[in-house]
Chains A and B, each alone.
Chain A
Amino acid sequence: MPAPRSVVPPWPDDATVIRRSWDEPDCFGAVFDAHYTEIHRYASQRLGPHAADDICAETFALAFRQRRRYDLSRGSARPWLYGIATNVISRHRRDEVRLLRAVNRLRPVSESAGGHEDAVTAKVSAERLQGALAEAVAALPADQRDVLLLVALSGLSYEEAAQALDVPFGTVSSRLNRARKKLRKALGGTNPLLDEKDMHR
């Protein structure tokens, strides 16, 4: 007996589910199920896996409490959830900076086991570069760092990042440009690893 057509509804987008959750709060579970892992990954990258559990629990608890303020014209809840997570993460600014400085300090000097000399040199310089980069990210003003990492780690477009942070599109671009300028400066201005053309996307 084939399934009757009527029991296989087209699945609603996040906006529809969230609208429904205004009256039927349990529906919000579907938003959690669809996005928790992704938001957890983002929190884990920025603050480490241990903190990520608490950050994510708080993010979704806040999202649930704010579900009536969701802009229903937006089909996907990803930018909104990334925005809330970014705000929760920003409360742990000091922890994040400490982690980034630790990357700079603790990044191991390359073990030379069996490496071709050129390869080892390249690796060491890449590690130095990463340490300097981590330090530069740590030194960014918080609002610039949030935009930079949101765009770099979430894969959101500038447009979506602007939605997420609830700021105008132009603000996202200018914060991002300032952040990238500082990073380039920290890396010595003309780093051979950087393709200049990519800088103006």
Chain B
Amino acid sequence: MNDLDLVRGLYDDDPPPPTREAMAQARARMLSQTGTVRRRPRRAWRLPLGLVAATMVASVVAGMALIAHDPAEPKKPGAANKGVDPSPQALTPRGMMLAAASQAEQQPQGRYWFTHQRTGLPLLALGRTGGYVVEERADTFEWVGRTREDGRAFYGRDLGGEPQTDADIKDWRDAGSPRSWQVRSSGTTRTISIKPGDWIADQKKPPGGAFTIPGVGSFTYAELQNLPAEPEELRELLCEGRVRLTSEVAEQLRRGGVTAAHKSCDSASGVLDKVFFTLTSTPVPPKVRAGLMRLLTDYPGVRRLGAVADPLGRPGIALAASYKSRDGRGTLQRDLIFDQRTGKVLGSRDILKKPGPDSQSWQAPGRILGYWLIVDSGWADTRPKLPD
């Protein structure tokens, strides 16, 4: 035994590992600094004039459309004779988005906010029984109380893998329907099982009442209530100034003479990401959700796709922005999908448009290269229960 061993003996040999939540936040915070190396000029984009009026018209039209399509509310005789077909198909993609935004304004709130999210990463199954694409899936479930005292909880689970497309399912069956697959990504080879794992709770029990938007900052419930609802003000909040730190972290950094990173939104896809994170990481009040949706709907470079189905087969309407992959996988289109009836986010997905120098052969145009879904989210008045 030498003195270095004694020094080692002073320290916890096996400190608690980092929580998934802290890791995810640290990773997102790190990558959200993209563009802070070069300062970007202030974007001269402003909300197009007349949007406010257009929004109001669309809301009225959408309101009719929704009533006509709600199965619980049969069409009233005569209502269809007004000469306007109020079906959602009659709306332009932009009208659909604005209708969803006005629905978002109607959602009620409660004491505990929860979100159940699912990510999927398609990977090539390797080896003798491979050769097709398997999605590696993981779930997270988190609830946060409205006040500090209400607490919070965070859980994660591996959901196991499944072949991605019908063709992949066929190839998997032809390979003898193996129950696990070897895959390789991020520098490691690992095994994905078909069998889902159990929920694992993060042991850390931080207080409730605060919400972090990656790359934007931390906000208390009360601060979320005071966020602006105007699209241009929201763009400034998401894309300009410095990341807003909790007072605790800000104090630590101040002692070290370090200030928070600059926020930035790199092109339309950058704004789309910020809107996605805000809508899925926090219970911003309905009017702010609506404002964010309006911001994105009319943002230059964002395309309005109209009706789509998400990777779980749920019907939705989507906005999309293309971006060039930074790891050589070519040009991808990121879709942000909303439920038109509630205005809630269903999730996002990346579709390959044009392969790049490092694309693998299975990564062909039209293939989904990843998704991040909101299985469910909302408010509850009692502590939310883990989903099955």
Contact = CB atoms under 8 A, between A and B. Distances in A.
Q: Are these two chains actual partners, yes or no?
A: yes
A40 B17 contact: yes
16 contacts: A1-B171, A2-B127, A8-B184, A24-B326, A24-B328, A26-B325, A32-B30, A53-B18, A54-B248, A61-B30, A64-B30, A100-B10, A130-B9, A137-B10, A151-B4, A198-B2
A103 interface: yes
Contacts of A133: 6-7, 10
B267 interface: no
A57 B29 contact: yes
B53 interface: no
B18 A199 contact: no
B7 A152 contact: yes
A148 B4 CA distance: 8
Contact of B7 (A58, A149, A201): A149
B187 to A, nearest CB: 5
B46 interface: no
B171 A193 contact: no
A139 interface: no
A189 B360 CA distance: 63
A3 B326 contact: no
A137 B10 CA distance: 10
B255 interface: yes
B108 interface: no
B49 interface: no
Given A193-B6, A195-B2, A88 B256 contact: yes
A193 B5 CA distance: 10
A49 B203 CA distance: 11
Contacts of A97: none
A28 to B, nearest CB: 7
**9 interchain residue pairs of minimum CB distance:** A24-B326, A198-B2, A91-B256, A1-B131, A44-B15, A57-B26, A26-B326, A7-B360, A53-B22
Nearest to A49: B16
Contact of B10 (A24, A29, A40, A130): A130
B22 A57 contact: yes
B15 to A, nearest CB: 4
A153 interface: yes
Contacts of A134: 10
A117 interface: no
Contacts of B253: 58
Interface string B320-354: 00000111100000000000000000000000000
Which of the listed residues B15, B256, B328 has the most CB atoms from chain A within 10 Å of its own CB? B15
A7 B37 contact: no
B370 to A, nearest CB: 12
A2 B27 contact: no
A28 B30 contact: yes
A106 B27 CA distance: 36
Given A61-B261, A68-B37, A1 B2 contact: no
A145 B75 CA distance: 77
Interface string B102-146: 000000000000000000000011111011100000000000000
A45 interface: yes
